[in-house]
Amino acid sequence: MRWLWMPFLLGSCDAWDTFISPAESDTDVDTDADADVDTDTDADTDPVDPDPPQPGTWTVRPHPCVGGRTDTMLVEDGGSTIWVGCGTTVEGRGLWRSRNGGISWNEVNPGVLDSWRINDLQRAADGNLYFAGIEVDGTGRGGFVNSSDQVTVLLVNAGQLWNAMVTGSVRRTPAGDIAFESLNGTDVAYRGSGDAAFSDAYPWWTFGESKQILDLEIVGEDFYGVGSTIASPPVVFLPPPNGRDGFQMSQLELDTTFDGELWDLFITTDRQLLAAGVDQVENVGVVFMSGDDMYDDEQWSQFRAESLWPGSATWFRGVCRGPQTIYAVGELSIPSLGIIAASDDDGASWYPVALPVDTGAVNACHVQSDGIVHVAGADGFYATYEP
């Protein structure tokens, strides 16, 4: 087992710098004859929070997955155990773990997993850590790590398109159904709890044309996802209303006025869905939030990053929620610098969270029950934020 010790850096962001945005873009007029200031009673739609909280404190502890992004991060044990996977970027391979909140990192089973690019992680109900990705020699496509760090490969290249894919996400239900979705297509390899082998889930969509899944989640025995393509409207994938037969999901286009993908999905305990992605037409990061009926697209609300970063090309890569706050993480696309937007009122208004200086693109986030936020991104960036 190889160990890599990383420096401990403590930073406090005490100014908003260029991240401040105005609370309102309009000005209301005092129309009566007195000299007081009248109450703002019009229907302003500006989603910028007029009274954001004071900046919190960042603790930066880099991880060993170098390259343009952190493909996956899993936080466990109240924030003391962190897993990161090296995946789609040219540099960096393998699975890394910290047992002390990011102060030091060790490579997990380097004799096996250092030949893998890891794109996704899930702690399943059976206690194993499932991973999706690809072995660099093209053989393996996904498997799991047990409590002793022993690796079992479940999905291998058997020649057919559906199991020769690069796997992007994996989810195992409590009953034992397992699905690996394709990072570079619309294919899904699926094995039911009573099946001996994986099979092609085609056609897994219940209507319309297939769209690419870019993130996959489960609640109980139900599969959820988000995705689409660069030339199609953003899509959320939901459990079929009448139940699924094998691996199935229903498609819902959330906004047909633009084309773009959704890259990350977060589901709250009461099954509110939060989806982060990009409007490829306007080059603007977007966050969608479901209403009471997730199957009704008109009940979904939308936040657009141009409210906080007007005139800049943006992209949201991840979304997460804690007891009070929603966070969307991503990047200013042209300088490839990280951005974080936050909302303390269920997405009604948003404010920017200032990152440490020169932080690159941010790809993943997680909020602990005490409100501390974990984020990871480009160039081995890992940090915690205490509001």
Contact in structure between 357 and 367 (CB atoms under 8 Å): no
pLDDT in tens, 142-154: 999 999 999 999 9
Contact in structure between 288 and 275 (CB atoms under 8 Å): yes
pLDDT at 36 over 50: no
The end-to-end CA distance of the chain, in Å, is 36
pLDDT in tens, 149-171: 999 999 999 888 888 999 999 99
pLDDT in tens, 46-76: 699 988 988 999 999 999 888 888 989 999 9
Q: What predicted TM-score, i.e. pTM, was given to this entire model?
A: 0.87
Domains of the chain and CATH, by start: 63-386 (2.130.10.10)
pLDDT at 16 over 70: no
Average pLDDT of the chain is 88
pLDDT at 88 over 80: no
Q: Which residue has the tokens 């773990």?
A: 97
Contacts of 93 (CB under 8 A, 6+ apart): 86, 113, 114, 115, 116, 117, 118, 136
pLDDT at 15 over 90: no
pLDDT in tens, 187-239: 999 999 988 899 999 999 987 788 999 999 999 999 999 999 889 999 999 99
Rounded Cα distance, 150 and 300, in Å = 43
The pLDDT, as a whole number, for residue 261 is: 96
The pLDDT-based confidence of 20 (bands split at 50, 70, 90) is very low
Rounded Cα distance, 274 and 241, in Å = 19
The pLDDT, as a whole number, for residue 184 is: 85
Rounded Cα distance, 346 and 355, in Å = 22
The pLDDT-based confidence of 89 (bands split at 50, 70, 90) is low
The pLDDT-based confidence of 90 (bands split at 50, 70, 90) is low
pLDDT at 35 over 60: no
pLDDT in tens, 338-369: 999 999 999 999 999 999 999 999 999 999 99
